[in-house]
Structure 1
Amino acid sequence: MRFLEQLYLAIDRFNNRLGRIVSWTAIIMVLVQFLIVVMRYIFNFGSQSMQDSVIYLHSILFLLGASYTLLHEGHVRVDIFYREHSQFAKAMVDAIGALVLLLPVCIFIWWWSWPYVVQSWATHETSLQTSGLPFVYILKTLILAFASLMAVQGVSMFLRSLLTLTGHNTRQAREDGAHV
């Protein structure tokens, strides 16, 4: 049981650190968008590469930050039914949700995205705009990263729930490990 606890804590620490790093893309994205607006409306100059960079930053923020959101329970959930239940009932809902919903959806996204991403890498796909960023294949790879990170966080969620269901108190260990 100690191994399972250390495993989910390691996953939580990783996704927590990744989420904190990725959160900086929000500030960068706002600054770039501000610069685009200033350049367009004051200097009458537009840049497709800068427009593309906002899309890339937005994708990084949401696709790589989703597992951080799941870790900190910032995702959408029907709390009317969830919040009033015991820790045991919450753990049961989380375990079933991770196994029946989250992990299969992540596997489905990964499975169906793989050929799409491989095709993009094979051709080194670039922007359809001549002055756009030439790294569309890297952008598409974020879909696989999203599915992988969410699946790994789903495993962490399942392990935490499993330990709670088997009578192991993981609340303090999670608070100590995930917020380092």
Structure 2
Amino acid sequence: MIVETSRMLLRPVERCDVDDLVRLDSDPHVMAFVSGGIATPRSLVEEWVVPRAQAELRTGRGGLWTVIDRRYGVFLGWVSLRAPRHSRRPELELTYRLRREYWGRGLATEAAQIVTDLAFADLDAQRVFASATSTHAASRRVMEKLGMRICGIHVGDENAPGGFGEVEYDLFREDWQRRHQGWGASTDLTA
């Protein structure tokens, strides 16, 4: 699935994206709310992140899409949908990450909206959820703009960056449909 908007192109992650993914995850500001600022090792990106994302795309249960600036062809970051490993429910987890110099422009919200629409319209998800460190206001705003609501607070999570807990948000198919009435039954983002 490749999707183009006026500002971006979303395309499935490829092996040629490894350098960009590693560079993104090497920025301590980008990783501050993910791993406490610790970079993701290149070997993990090469041997696990990219192959897993490609496998998820093949099975039709999610995947990872690179977000490319449509005008200049520059790598901006990525957005993903992933089926939880320990759940049999028709739900997908939404995650996203952008290069720091592109924060605050609505790009994360735009990319997240595209794959959220895909999850409900074409992947038969009944629920899409996402989480963020409780202090990560920008990421929480993205979730709220998608129509997600808080469904869980994990207080005092010692594994969370900075020792703060995580907040989980979710959106159910029925709520998504209400938000999109008049748009048609399917956005058909698989073309």
Asked if these proteins are the same fold (TM beyond 0.5), I'd say no
Q: Which has the higher strand share?
A: 2
Name which one, 1 or 2, has greater alpha-carbon Rg. Answer: 1
Structure possessing the higher relative contact order (Cα contacts under 8 Å, 6 or more residues apart): 1
- Greater helix fraction, Structure 1 or Structure 2: 1
- TM-score, normalised via structure 2 length: 0.27
TM-score, normalization: structure 1?
0.28
